[in-house]
Amino acid sequence: MEENNEQNVVNEEIEVGVNGNNGIKIADDVVAVIAGVAASEVPGVYSMSGGFAGGISEVLSGKKNLAKGIKVEVGEKETKIDVNIIVEYGTRIPDVAFEIQNRVKKAVESMTGLKVLEVNVHVQGVNTEMMNEEEKKSGEKTE
């Protein structure tokens, strides 16, 4: 009878370990993809800024890099995330950055169970293509 009680205690400890996220290692790339998708869905984000190397890898592989522009540091139970974006011309940058922080934090915490300590948003540029098209249209009308 004593052996059964000891065995039950051991089984309970294993179950607690699984529920407590112990023994599960989430790769940095997984967190980066989750954050990248969440950030790219925010209105006002034109694109993610991944630099020259990121653009070349997309062209060569033919696949969209969902982690483009994201840098993560994953610890045992927490993570820090840096998001690099290009915003659309005319959008209010503080509002876009705040929304990115909220969506990325919510997505990463709900999907991974990791605590997000920081979401730093770095605006790398502004897409002015829309502005240039509007200037051309208004210029054509005046001529």
* Residue range 3-32, pLDDT digits in tens: 444 444 333 322 223 345 567 788 999 999
Q: Output the pLDDT for position 11.
A: 34
Can you tell me the distance from the alpha carbon of 26 to that of 33, in angstroms, rounded to the nearest whole number?
12
d(CA 25, CA 66): 20
Rounded Cα distance between 124 and 52, Å, is 13
Q: Where are the domains of the chain?
A: 26-142
Whose tokens are 């997309």? That residue is 58
Tokens of 47: 């694109």
User: 26-142 adopts what CATH topology?
Assistant: Alpha-Beta Plaits (3.30.70)
Q: What is d(CA 11, CA 83) in angstroms, rounded to the nearest whole number?
A: 41
| DSSP 8-state secondary structure symbol assigned to residue 118 | E
Q: What are phi and psi for residue 132, nearest 5 degrees?
A: -65, -40
Residue 67 in this model has a pLDDT that exceeds 60:
yes
Q: Where are the beta strands (DSSP E) in the chain?
A: 45-48, 70-74, 78-88, 115-127
Whether pTM > 0.85 for this model: the answer is no
Strand-pair partners of 83: 70, 121
SS3 for 43? coil
Q: Could you report the per-residue pLDDT of 105-131, keeping only the tens digit for each?
A: 999 999 999 999 999 999 999 999 866
DSSP 26: -
